[in-house]
Amino acid sequence: MSKINISEKKVIVLVAAIAQLIQQLIANMTIVALPQILIDFNFSSDTIMWVNLIYLCALVAVCLPFAKIISQYGVKRFIVVSVIGLLISVAISVLSINQFMLLFARLIQGFTSASLSISLYVMIAEGLPENEMGSALGIVGSAGYVGMLIAPSFMGLMISVANWRFAFLILIPILMLILFLLSKIKTEWISEKTEIDKIGSLLYIVGMVLFTYGITVLDEFGSIPVIISFIIFLLFIRHEKNYPYPIYNIKLLKNVKYVIGNYAAMVTYFTTTIAITALTFHLQYILDFEEYIIGLILIISPIIMIGISGLAGRLSNKIDPRIISGTAMSFICISMVMFFFIDFLPFNIILVACALQGIGNGLFSAPNNKYVLTLVDEKDLPDASSFLSTSKEFGKILSGGIYTLILSIFIGDQALGPEHLDNMLLASTNLMMFINAILAFSAAFLLFYSKYKYDHDMNSPISRILDSIHPLNKRKKS
């Protein structure tokens, strides 16, 4: 790890936090603007979803291949290139005169967001000592979650002031600020150059594009591309095992702790993303709230996250991150159970559920990110960072696909509004929240189990009780 001074460390954290915030805003804010974009560019009801789909396809498809390229040609260099790419693509979005320009801009945003997400985590892991990494990841992770959660409110506010283009325009000076701050970082992180696995990269990209597209159209014919993608992934794994310079170190997946950490990250994004959507629908169509009130309700969670994430980062330097992450997932699980009963809850209890979700998200991000990244050797940091980013985006894609499928089963192509359709929307929300609660519970259980199974103190009373229940799990003293 290169030695850097204190001021440069602060700039690293600041750059990573702002960039993560902007990346999540770009990823999520267009959802609110889709109706206006549809009118402006004469999109059809089927093709309008490509505004978000093309971004997701591009991002998840190149995460793993980009990791090797980034680590070999310079982490800071790729952050600069990524920010410039985002700057250009945002400008294209503002100046778009037809749907093809906008889709091209979203494609570039997907590619550059993938490169940026990987590079930021590697920069923090390489540039900061382990005892400072927790706090830094707390700040950066919180910025990402805040960006994701406030994106709908941000776009809604910009539309009320001007239009959806204005939201992209606001991001341009912030991206220029990031470029200025990057000029203050003099350190570069480069790994040893090796051959790039072209066949593995192609298999992975094609597989992820097919899966991403298939999961978002499951209610139509999505099962076909999903099945094909699984076949391609099997070929990819077989190829990677036999190739001397794979794009991803498959051996990392043999580490159960590493897999659990990534699974928990996936579950967090799965539950958080779709909970926002389902809660918005409920507040708008069932409770008939105005848009500005919905925005105020949705802002509760990110505000609490900001206050808690820094504490979580500092705690992760003293307490096992799995304990903190498991506790966080427990809060998220409780909030999902409360949302499951949303139709029976008074309004103030719905606000409590939002607060609990914010506590869970705030506690989770930094400890889990630190835990996953510190499980691997320095040479595997790019792989771990790219897989962590992919896990999070995969959670968003999977939750959106499942919720779309549920809505198509319960509601179909009917417009929301009449009383019987409101009941169908409520049933859809209940089912989705039930799935969220099960996944959150499983993630919490696995994180706590990982702590007990692999690193527990044999002299502690809890360990002795658990060992008496599961004698086969006893570990020999070293």
5 and 77 co-located in one domain = yes
Q: Is the predicted pLDDT of residue 88 greater than 90, yes or no?
A: yes
Q: Give residues with Cβ within 8 angstroms of 19, minimum separation 6.
A: 79, 83, 116, 120, 178
Residue 379: CATH number of its domain: 1.20.1250.20
Q: How far is CA 186 from CA 1, 84, 132, 346, 364, in A?
A: 14, 18, 19, 54, 31
What pLDDT does 86 receive? 93
Instruction: Produce one character per residue of 91-108: b if its CB has 16 or more CB atoms within 10 Å, e if not.
Output: bbbbebeebeebbbbbbb
Q: Is the predicted pLDDT of residue 83 greater than 90, yes or no?
A: yes
144 and 209 co-located in one domain = no
Whether 427 is covered by a domain: the verdict is: yes
Whether 128 is covered by a domain: the verdict is: yes
Q: Is the predicted pLDDT of residue 252 greater than 60, yes or no?
A: yes
Whether 334 is covered by a domain: the verdict is: yes
Confidence of residue 135 (pLDDT cuts 50, 70, 90): confident
182 and 211 co-located in one domain = no
Alpha helix (H) ranges present in 256-346?
256-281, 291-298, 300-315, 321-340
- Over residues 374-425, the pLDDT tens digits come to 787 777 777 787 788 788 888 888 887 788 778 777 766 555 455 555 677 7
397 and 453 co-located in one domain = yes
What pLDDT does 475 receive? 42
Percent of the chain with pLDDT over 70: 86
Whether 13 and 310 have beta carbons less than 8 Å apart is answered as no
Query: Positive or negative, the Cα torsion across 78, 80, 86, 89?
Result: negative
278 and 231 co-located in one domain = no
Confidence of residue 11 (pLDDT cuts 50, 70, 90): confident
Q: Which amino acid is at 8?
A: E
Q: How far is CA 364 from CA 339, 372, 387, 444, 472, in A?
A: 20, 12, 18, 11, 31
Poorest-pLDDT segment among 76-85, 194-203, 301-310: 301-310
- Over residues 453-465, the pLDDT tens digits come to 776 443 343 334 3
Poorest-pLDDT segment among 110-124, 175-189, 299-313: 299-313
Which carries the bigger pLDDT value, residue 18 or residue 188? 18
282 and 390 co-located in one domain = yes
Q: Tell me the average pLDDT of the chain.
A: 80
Q: Give residues with Cβ within 8 angstroms of 372, minimum separation 6.
A: 258, 261, 262, 265, 384, 388
367 and 452 co-located in one domain = yes
Cα 253 → chain centroid: 20
What pLDDT does 478 receive? 39
What pLDDT does 1 receive? 45
Query: Positive or negative, the Cα torsion across 420, 421, 427, 433?
Result: negative
52 and 146 co-located in one domain = yes
Dig out the tokens for 32 from the structure.
């609110």
User: Can you tell me the mean pLDDT for 98-121?
Assistant: 88
The domain tally of the chain equals: 3
Confidence of residue 474 (pLDDT cuts 50, 70, 90): very low
176 and 214 co-located in one domain = no
Whether 173 is covered by a domain: the verdict is: yes
Q: Could you tell me the residue range of the domain that residue 22 belongs to?
A: 1-187
User: Can you tell me the mean pLDDT for 171-189?
Assistant: 88
- Over residues 428-473, the pLDDT tens digits come to 888 888 999 999 999 999 998 888 777 644 334 333 433 443 433 4
Q: Which amino acid is at 217?
A: V
Q: Is the predicted pLDDT of residue 286 greater than 80, yes or no?
A: no
82 and 2 co-located in one domain = yes
Q: Which amino acid is at 16?
A: A
User: Can you tell me the mean pLDDT for 30-49?
Assistant: 73
**What is the gyration radius of the CA atoms in the chain, in angstroms?**
22
Whether 478 is covered by a domain: the verdict is: no
Whether 192 is covered by a domain: the verdict is: no
241 and 260 co-located in one domain = no
CB atoms within 10 A of CB 427: 15
Predicted model pTM: 0.76
Q: Give residues with Cβ within 8 angstroms of 179, minimum separation 6.
A: 80, 83, 84, 87
158 and 45 co-located in one domain = yes
Q: Which of 159, 148, 156, 139 is nearest to 113 (CA)?
A: 148
Q: Which of 309, 381, 308, 360 is nearest to 130 (CA)?
A: 381
Q: Which of 193, 152, 147, 118 is nearest to 17 (CA)?
A: 147
Query: Positive or negative, the Cα torsion across 337, 339, 344, 345?
Result: positive
User: Can you tell me the mean pLDDT for 119-123?
Assistant: 82
Confidence of residue 333 (pLDDT cuts 50, 70, 90): very high
What pLDDT does 469 receive? 38
Whether 391 is covered by a domain: the verdict is: yes
Which carries the bigger pLDDT value, residue 31 or residue 56? 56
Question: d(Cα 59, Cα 79) in Å, to the nearest integer?
Answer: 15
Q: Which amino acid is at 231?
A: I
What pLDDT does 331 receive? 94
Whether 385 is covered by a domain: the verdict is: yes
